[in-house]
Amino acid sequence: MLDLSMILAPLLQLWWLIPIVAVVLFFKSATGKGMVGEGMLNSFLGISLNKEEYRILKDVTLPTEDGTTQIDHIIVSRYGIFVIETKNYKGWIFGSEHQKRWTQSIYGKKNFFQNPLHQNYKHTKTLQKLLDLDDDKIFSVVVFVGESTFKTDMPDNVVRPRGLLKFIKTYKKVVFTLRKMENIIESIEHARFSKSFRTYREHVDNLKRKNSKDSTPHKNKDLVCPRCGNNLVIRAAKKGQNIGNKFYGCKSYPKCRYTRKLDLLLHQ
């Protein structure tokens, strides 16, 4: 008869590997990579900016009309407020200011992600409404940390960590008094949710509910153009032997001419 104790004994001796594997897997996940990127940037900013002139708030979750929004970093200074979205990616990055999705190309595989400028726009507008500020006093910045390379021209406010310092330092006109800075920080601290795992989980749940509510067949991951990242839409042939037949075509046509046969499963 098979003695299970002889099989389980060596495995039980390796129990200490379980938490190590769990930690490794976590930091390879999107959430883990995001936390690492934010931590790297936080350390860099803390060393590089004068603490009397620039006050750094990190991981700020604020209420919105449809749930919550989470801001990686807010820098409050006498020269304005900088709202920072951090991305930690490897590989080649393709994107433009107005494109809905950007592309990451790594090891020959393409992944699509939300345009971080659009993502940070909501952060900026939420903070602007909270503080009742004009557009010229609050600035959106996207910072890429990690080993990625931009393969398309990026706007001035999409930068590397050192580029962030250069961007911030270009603003030299004093727009807030020291007292006003303190009032702004106090307002943010009063409005933000407490930093806790519960706040994080509730924010994630809000995002899931919103994505579920907003989802349509054309936002399905299978209906994304593999060439440019835009949505595929149903079109009908207007000429040729297939006139009248329907197919999927890229929404950015004629700039992108990708097509695909209509997926009947989505219309049963």
Residues 67-119 have pLDDT tens digits of: 889 999 999 999 999 999 999 999 999 999 989 999 999 988 999 999 999 99
pLDDT reading at 149 higher than 70: yes
Measured in degrees and rounded to the nearest 5, phi and psi for residue 150 equal -75, 125
Whether 89 and 36 have beta carbons less than 8 Å apart is answered as no
Would the pTM count as exceeding 0.85?
Answer: no
**DSSP secondary structure letters along 127-190:** HHHHHT--GGGEEEEEEEESSEEE-S---TTEE-HHHHHHHHHT--S--S-HHHHHHHHHHHHH
State CA 5 to chain mean position distance. 48
Across residues 235-246, what is the average pLDDT?
A: 81
The reported pLDDT for the residue numbered 146 is 83
Across residues 239-250, what is the average pLDDT?
A: 81
Check residues 249 and 71 and name the one with the higher pLDDT.
71
pLDDT reading at 263 higher than 90: no
Kindly indicate the confidence band of residue 208, based on its pLDDT and cuts at 50, 70 and 90: low
The reported pLDDT for the residue numbered 264 is 41
Start-to-end CA span in the chain (Å): 54
d(CA 235, CA 27): 42
Give the 3-state secondary structure of residue 240: coil
pLDDT reading at 226 higher than 70: no
**pLDDT of 117-135, one tens digit each?**
999 999 999 999 999 999 9
Q: Which amino acid is at 29?
A: S
Give the 3-state secondary structure of residue 111: strand
d(CA 63, CA 159): 28
pLDDT reading at 205 higher than 80: no
Sheet holding 138-145, edge to edge: 54-64, 67-77, 80-88, 138-145, 158-159
Whether 145 and 87 have beta carbons less than 8 Å apart is answered as yes
